[in-house]
Amino acid sequence: MGTRPDDLNALIDSVRKQDGDPVDIVVVGNGAPVTGVPDDVRTVDLPENLGIPGGRNVGIEAFGPGGSDVDVLLFLDDDGLLPKTDTAELCRGAFEADPSLGIISFRIADPDTGVTQRRHVPRLRAADPMRSSRVTTFLGGANAVRTKVFAEVGGLPDEFFYAHEETDLAWRALDAGWAIDYRADMVLHHPTTSPARHATYHRMVARNRVWLARRNLPAPLVPVYLGVWLLLTLARRPSGEALKAWFGGFKEGWRTPAGPRRPMKWRTVWRLTRLGRPPVV
C-alpha cells in the first residue's frame, strides 16, 4: 500500500540474495502506485485496495493464468524479510520431494527477539514453534503454494478482503487431496504486531468466520463450528466495543452472500481431525 518503502526494498533485496535460480518478483500496489523499487522488479498498480486476497490474486495472474508460467509462488508481506539465503532452495527441494505437497507455511519470527508468536504456528499444539509438521492451514504473509493448487481449486476468496482467506484456500486444497506443511526451518522475519491493530479486525474476523463455515463445511458442522467460536470469543473477554463489532460481523456473515458453497467431504473432515484440528475449532 506504499506505506513501507524501506521495508519493501529490504524484502526485495533478501529475495534477490536467495541461492539457486533467481526468483522472479512481482510487487502489487494495492490501491497505491509502486515506486522506488529496482527496475527489474515487475509491478502492478491497482486503482483501489482490493484487500489481501484480492491483491494476492492479482499477483498470481501476473505469472500467467492461475500462475501457470511458474511452478511455485511465494507470498511475502512487504514488511517481512528472508534472513537466510537458502529458503527458496528449501522450498524447491520440499516440493520436488513430495508431489502431494501443495502449500508450505513458513515460520514467522520477530527480527529482534527471534520469538515466534503462538498465533503464527498454524496448529492447535503450538507450544513448540521449532517443530515442523503437517497442518490444516497456513500463514498468508509467509508461504509458498504450488500453482497446480490454484489450477485445481481456484484462488483466494476476493470477497473476504481480510481474515481467514488462507483457511478457505487450505480447506479446499485439503479436500482436493493436497498436503500442507509448516516448516520451522523456512523463516520470515516480521515485527511482532497484533492483528487487532486494524480498525475492522473484529468485524471481518467474525463475518469471514461465518462465510468460511457456510462455504466449506458439511451442514451439520456449521452450527457446531460457529458455536464453538462464539464461546471462545466470549471466553477471551474482549472489550465492549470489540464485542459489539464482532457480533455485527457475525450477523453480517449470515445476512450477506458467502460465495459458492462447496462443502468438504466427510473423509476430509476425518483427515483434518487426524491432523489434530477437526473443523469445529
Report the alpha-carbon distance of residue 101 to residue 182 in Å, rounded.
11
DSSP characters for 74-86? Answer: EEE-TT-B---S-
In one-letter notation, the amino acid at residue 37 is V
Q: Which three cell numbers stand for residue 226?
A: 460457529
The pTM (predicted TM-score) of the whole model is: 0.96
Determine the topology of domain 5-193 in CATH.
Spore Coat Polysaccharide Biosynthesis Protein SpsA; Chain A (3.90.550)
Q: Which three cell numbers stand for residue 40?
A: 527489474
- Average pLDDT of the segment spanning 124-151: 97
- Domain parsing of the chain, residue ranges: 5-193, 196-274
- Nearest alpha carbon to residue 86 among 27, 20, 168: 20
Write the secondary structure of 125-190 as one string of H (helix), E (strand) and C (coil): CCCCCCCCEECCCCCCCEEEEEHHHHHHHCCCCHHHCCCCHHHHHHHHHHHCCCEEEEEEEEEEEC
- Nearest alpha carbon to residue 208 among 257, 238, 170, 164: 164
Residue 60 confidence (pLDDT) = 97
Residue 199 confidence (pLDDT) = 59
Helix ranges (H only) for the chain are 5-16, 51-61, 87-97, 147-153, 165-175, 201-216, 221-235, 240-255, 266-274
Strand-by-strand arrangement of the 142-146 sheet: 72-76, 142-146, 101-109, 179-189, 133-134
Residue 198 confidence (pLDDT) = 54
- Average pLDDT of the segment spanning 36-43: 96
Report the alpha-carbon distance of residue 178 to residue 237 in Å, rounded.
37
Answer yes or no: is pLDDT of 41 > 90: yes
CA atoms within 13 A of residue 178's CA, in its CB half-sphere: 26
CA atoms within 13 A of residue 31's CA, in its CB half-sphere: 8
For residue 145, count CB atoms less than 10 angstroms from its CB and return exposed for 0-12, middle for 13-18, buried for 19 or more.
Answer: buried
Report the alpha-carbon distance of residue 218 to residue 215 in Å, rounded.
9
Q: Could you tell me the sign of the dihedral formed by the alpha carbons of 52, 54, 55, 56, in that order?
A: positive
Collapsed DSSP state (helix, strand, coil) of residue 67: helix
Q: Which three cell numbers stand for residue 111?
A: 527480527
Q: Which three cell numbers stand for residue 194?
A: 497484533
- Average pLDDT of the segment spanning 77-93: 97
For 249-259, letters b (16+ CB in 10 Å) and e give bbebbeeeebe
Residue 162 confidence (pLDDT) = 94
- Average pLDDT of the segment spanning 245-273: 97
pLDDT digits (tens, 9 = 90+) for 163-208: 999 999 999 999 999 999 999 999 999 998 777 555 589 999 999 9
- Average pLDDT of the segment spanning 246-254: 97
Report the alpha-carbon distance of residue 139 to residue 122 in Å, rounded.
7
Q: Which three cell numbers stand for residue 37?
A: 523499487
Q: Which three cell numbers stand for residue 84?
A: 537466510
Residue 193 confidence (pLDDT) = 76
Residue 157 confidence (pLDDT) = 98
- Average pLDDT of the segment spanning 128-144: 97
For residue 118, count CB atoms less than 10 angstroms from its CB and return exposed for 0-12, middle for 13-18, buried for 19 or more.
Answer: exposed
pLDDT digits (tens, 9 = 90+) for 212-229: 999 999 999 999 999 999
- Nearest alpha carbon to residue 92 among 76, 70, 110: 70
